[in-house]
Amino acid sequence: MDNDLLSIQQARDLAVAARAAQRQFFHASQAEVDRICAAMAEAAHAAAERLGRMACEETGYGVPEHKTLKNTLASRVLWDAIKEIPTVGVVRHDPRRKLYDIAWPMGVVAALTPSTNPTSTVMFKILIAVKARNAIVVAPHPSAAKCCVETARLMAEAGERAGMPPGLVACMSQIMLPGTQELMRHKYVALILATGGSDMVKAAHSVGKPAYGVGPGNVPVYVDRSADLARAAKYIVASKAFDHSVICATEQAVVADKPIAAQLAELMQAEGAHFVNEAEAQALGKLLFTPGPLINPKTVGKSPQQLAQMAGIRVPATARVLVARLKEVGRSEPLSAEKLTTVLGWYEADGWEAGCERCLELIDYGGRGHSLVIHAQDDNVIMRFGLEKPVFRILVNTLGTLGATGMTTGVMPSFTLGSGGIGGAITGDNIGVHHLYNVKRLAYETTPPPAAALVPGSTDDPAQLRSGGALPANSYGASTVIAHPVNDADQIATIVRRVLAELKAAGN
């Protein structure tokens, strides 16, 4: 059998079934929607550990315990954050303006998911889609197909037991590029929700349908002289080591304020950061990146010890992350780019202004619109970073990984992090349930219309119209008849003959 054709046919079948189910689900009440979503969230949470192990085994990326935590965030924590959000019927009412906002689902959502955070992203997208009364068809990365199919299966079964129409939640199992393309282009798909690498996100945006596409980031972490250095060191190492650095909001380079740089390095070493020498850094750069520079997929989500073995260098067994001292940002320095593995860049800058400039360089090199982390106690410095940096998540005194995704901050829990217009995305938000329904407005009159709007209009020269004179030419080259009371039959006949003659002369 032709695998491409099988994939294409499956995409078509799932899209058709999803549309039929969504038409039925469109009439669900808020209580029914919430009951179904609660059941799916609980089923996903109950399987969080098993699915986390399954994802690690299938992809070879990350840490099982950390994937379990991400699955918890994408199921129970997410549901707690969105369960009270109204998504059916009137969702807001402004009595003063006599305005009602009414939620209207998108329809069928095509959800492209990555290999780095597979099960957690599937959980997240299913919950926000169904909460907004959409159907969803997941198209997973081929290297994570089994764990994604299992995640969608158990959630769909839980939802259907709670009253969800069959086919509303589905996942492709025949994963080929033509099948994924067919799903995105299918006439019944109303929205594309894409999370993954740059090429995949570009493909989603190129289909010609509404799309939320978010991809890589190159997140700097600035540590100011006013920071709690012990806390900063603990958080930076823990965040970079979390799930072996496969979350796109993970810190990619430390920018240390020069007066505290040596102390911060010592504190980070105590937390498990191993600083490599220049030759070792060059070996890591050659290992991690192709001349493109594209990241070597074999290095994604690996421990320092695994990377050291592949690079032919030696690192201690206690190393949680590898740190390379860098001087430049750009193609001349491969390790200044996003590294979806346990390698961290290190820069020093004297003063927050210089630190700001270095952070801007890093953001411009593959991270525009995404995220930045700052450790400081000086509120002025914090606010200057918040106001001036071209990113849409500025995370203060927390872990980049868990702060950006909503575990340790007040932002919406999400595994699809918008990078805004400057990053090539339609929004800079953490994508959530509000992005998956449209709002129509029921608007009553609040201001009487001006009197001039209620009376008949007049010609520029009423006397000319009454006398049967020539009328101004319109865009068709013929006379324009302006609404004006003409009661005499002869006058009307004269005007009609004149218009017909001018139309004929103009070739119309």
Query: Which of the residues are catalytic?
Result: 248
**H-assigned helices in 314-436:** 352-364, 379-388, 400-404
Extract the runs of DSSP E, i.e. beta strands, from 81-236.
90-94, 99-105, 108-112, 135-139, 169-171, 189-195, 211-214, 219-223
Residue 315 one-letter amino acid: V
What's the rounded Cα separation, in Å, for the pair 362 and 333? 11
Query: Which tokens is 2 given?
Result: 């032709």
Residue found by looking up tokens 């986390």 in the block? 52
Bridge partners (DSSP) listed for residue 324: 276, 345
What's the rounded Cα separation, in Å, for the pair 80 and 402? 17
Find the angle CA(338)-CA(297)-CA(342) to the nearest 5 degrees.
50
- Strand 219-223 vs strand 437-443: parallel, antiparallel, or unpaired? unpaired
Dihedral pair phi/psi, residue 286, rounded to 5°? -70, -35
CA dihedral 116, 118, 122, 125 (to 10 degrees): 0
- Strand 189-195 vs strand 321-325: parallel, antiparallel, or unpaired? unpaired
Q: Which residues of 120-150 are buried (b: 16+ CB within 10 A; e: fewer)?
A: bbbbbbbbbbbbbbbbbbbbbbebbbbbbbb
Do the Cβ atoms of 431 and 405 come closer than 8 Å? no
| Chain centroid, CA 43 distance in Å | 25
Do the Cβ atoms of 192 and 204 come closer than 8 Å? yes
Q: In a 3-state reduction of DSSP, which class is residue 431?
A: coil
What's the rounded Cα separation, in Å, for the pair 152 and 414? 17
Sign of CA dihedral 445, 450, 454, 460: negative
